[in-house]
Each structure stands twice: as structure tokens, then as C-alpha cells.
């Protein structure tokens, strides 16, 4: 059996760690300001947005913890270290957002039956600060969001928050010029919808990886075609593909050859090809055509 491990770990650089720490500080301060103004001005849209921003701060902290756990070395009890925890943290972040959506919807329904006076200018100015903070955070995370599910989740949250803050600004202006306070819970429901929409992909991806589904962007049929491309490879079977972490993918497969003497060259080429397609840990077992069966080991 051939064991091969390409260690293309996309561990966050010191720069990315610094970005998350700065984002946590900025968003934490903004939550305090937004919640304070929301209570002072009795604005549900500000309070709901502050609650969501607080969950985002918690999510950013969890991502930093995930980065730390991913670096823990393997041991006798955890042969992959704690890398799988990065997937569980991504799933937890998605669940937290769903809970936040539920809370916002409940409060919005209550606000429709008991509307309150809102200072539109105060709401707009406060949310305007949110546009700047969330926008800057999203821009800082944009470059790295394609390489890690947790970073992508944080980026999507910040990008959604920026749009949400734009909505709150609009509601504040509408209230100031029209006095139509019902716009406040309406915007809160729109906020809930935006959060739900931005969370859905994160939730589905995290759930799939948590139950060892094939990571997004990989196709089992295409992987099979890559493996049998060599003229000496007759077929492949017992293929399993799963995520070790949010950045590392593993594969095991049986490779049927017409000549075992070709295996050293073929295995090296397969390892290289699989690594190019994001499969960083490959365990390959060669078989010959005269020693091959699908239902049991030869």
C-alpha cells in the first residue's frame, strides 16, 4: 500500500491572525456603541444588528481558536490532530447565526404589535459607522476567503453586515422624513432574511464536511477520470474522498494496473495530479488485473 501525504496546509499567516484580532476589536467596540444607541433610541433594527454583530465577534473568536487547533500535532489518540475541529467550528458558527435569525424574527413580530418612536438620524449615523467597520473587515478578509471555509464564513458575515447596515441607514432616513416607524421591524425582517441567505451555504458546506461528504468543488467522476488517464491504469475502485479540515482533503483508492512494475512512476504522477486538484492526503493501493475483485480484498 502506498501512503502519501502532501502537506499543503493553508495555515493562516501571522498577517491573517492580525486581521482577525483587529476585526474582533473593531467589531466589539461597534457592538457596544450600536447596542447603546439602540437602547437609547428604542430602535429594534439597531439592537438586532448589534446582536448579529455580537454573534459575528464570537464567530471571529471561534475562527481564531480553529486556527490554533489546526496546528496541534497528531498524537496517539488523535492521528489527524484536531484538524476536524475546524469543520465543527464552522458548523457551530452557522448554527449561531440561525439562532440569531430566530431571535430577530420574534422581536420584529412583537414590534409590529407594539411600535415605538425612533430617532431616524441617530439610527442612520450609527449604522453608517457600521458600514465603514464591516466594509473594512470584509475587504481585509476578501483575499483569504477562498482558501478556508471558516475565513469564507467570516467574510460572508461581514459582507452581509455591510449590506444590512446600508438597510438600517435607509430605514433611519425614511423614519426621519416620514415618521413611518413600522419600517424599523420591516428592516429587521429583511436583516434576518439576508443573514439566513448568507448562512445557508456555510451551513450546507459545514454539514457536508462534518459527515465526511466530498468537499465543494470536487467531483468523484472527474477524480476517477484523472486516475485512469494513464494507459497502465485499467480502473479504480473503493474510492473515498473526505475533508480532514476546512483546508485539507484526503483520498483512499484501489488502483488496478496491468503491470505492477509501473507502479512507482504511476503513483508519483497520481500524487502530483491529485495534489493539483486540492487532494492533499492520498492513500493509494495498487492491484493487478489478475488479482482484482470489487466485493472483497484480494
Using DSSP, state whether 40 is helix, strand or coil: helix
Residues 143 and 239 in one domain: no
Residues 39 and 123 in one domain: yes
Residues 245 and 158 in one domain: no
Which among 241, 67, 249 is positioned nearest to 144, based on CA atoms? 67
Which among 238, 158, 169, 154 is positioned nearest to 202, based on CA atoms? 154
Predicted confidence at residue 253, as pLDDT, reads: 93
Residue 121 lies in a domain: yes
Residues 199 and 242 in one domain: no
pLDDT in tens, 278-292: 898 999 999 887 654
User: Cβ of 228: how many Cβ atoms within 10 Å?
Assistant: 14
Classify residue 217 by burial, with Cβ atoms within 10 Å: 0-12, 13-18, 19+: exposed
Domain that residue 250 falls in? 220-288
Using DSSP, state whether 243 is helix, strand or coil: strand
Q: What is the pTM of this model?
A: 0.75
Which among 189, 191, 202, 99 is positioned nearest to 156, based on CA atoms? 202
Rounded CA-CA distance 220/274 in Å is 12
| Mean of pLDDT values over 141-148 | 75
| Mean of pLDDT values over 180-187 | 81
Predicted confidence at residue 119, as pLDDT, reads: 67
Confidence check: pLDDT of 243 > 50: yes
- Domain finish residue from 152, 179, 210: 210
| Mean of pLDDT values over 232-251 | 89
Residue 294 lies in a domain: no
Residues 83 and 43 in one domain: yes
Residues 173 and 154 in one domain: yes
Range scoring the smallest mean pLDDT among 14-18, 134-138, 247-251: 14-18
Residue 262 lies in a domain: yes
Residue scoring higher pLDDT (48 or 249) = 249
pLDDT in tens, 62-117: 888 888 888 888 888 888 888 888 899 889 888 887 887 888 788 788 878 776 66
Residues 204 and 250 in one domain: no
CATH number of the domain encompassing residue 278: 3.30.70.1350
Residues 113 and 253 in one domain: no
Confidence check: pLDDT of 126 > 90: no
Number of domains in the chain: 2
- Domain finish residue from 148, 181, 210: 210
Amino acid at each position: 500500500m502506498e501512503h502519501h501525504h502532501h502537506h499543503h496546509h493553508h495555515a493562516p499567516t501571522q498577517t491573517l491572525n492580525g486581521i482577525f484580532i483587529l476585526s474582533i476589536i473593531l467589531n466589539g467596540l461597534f457592538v457596544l456603541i450600536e447596542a447603546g444607541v439602540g437602547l437609547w433610541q428604542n430602535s429594534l433594527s439597531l439592537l438586532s444588528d448589534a446582536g448579529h454583530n455580537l454573534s459575528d465577534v464570537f464567530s471571529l473568536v471561534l475562527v481564531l481558536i480553529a486556527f490554533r487547533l489546526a496546528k496541534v500535532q497528531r498524537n496517539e489518540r488523535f492521528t489527524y490532530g484536531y484538524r476536524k475541529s475546524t469543520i465543527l467550528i464552522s458548523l457551530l458558527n452557522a448554527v449561531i447565526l440561525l439562532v440569531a435569525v430566530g431571535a430577530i424574527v420574534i422581536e420584529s413580530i412583537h414590534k409590529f404589535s407594539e411600535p415605538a418612536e425612533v430617532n431616524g438620524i441617530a439610527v442612520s449615523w450609527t449604522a453608517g459607522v457600521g458600514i465603514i467597520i464591516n466594509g473594512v473587515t470584509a475587504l481585509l478578509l476578501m483575499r483569504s476567503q477562498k482558501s478556508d471555509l471558516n475565513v469564507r464564513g467570516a467574510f460572508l458575515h461581514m459582507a452581509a453586515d455591510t449590506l444590512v447596515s446600508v438597510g438600517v441607514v435607509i430605514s433611519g432616513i425614511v423614519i426621519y422624513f416620514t415618521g413611518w416607524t413600522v419600517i424599523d421591524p420591516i428592516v429587521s425582517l429583511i436583516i434576518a432574511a439576508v443573514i439566513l441567505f448568507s448562512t445557508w451555504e456555510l451551513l450546507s458546506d459545514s454539514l457536508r464536511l462534518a459527515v465526511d461528504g466530498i468537499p465543494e468543488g470536487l467531483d468523484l467522476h472527474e477524480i476517477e477520470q484523472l486516475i485512469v488517464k494513464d494507459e497502465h491504469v485499467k480502473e479504480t475502485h473503493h474510492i473515498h474522498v473526505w475533508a480532514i479540515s476546512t483546508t485539507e482533503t484526503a483520498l483512499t483508492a484501489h488502483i488496478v494496473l496491468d503491470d505492477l512494475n509501473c507502479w512507482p512512476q504511476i503513483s508519483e504522477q497520481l500524487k502530483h495530479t491529485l495534489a493539483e486538484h486540492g487532494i492533499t492526503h492520498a492513500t493509494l493501493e495498487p492491484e493487478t488485473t489478475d488479482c482484482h475483485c470489487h466485493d472483497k480484498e484480494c
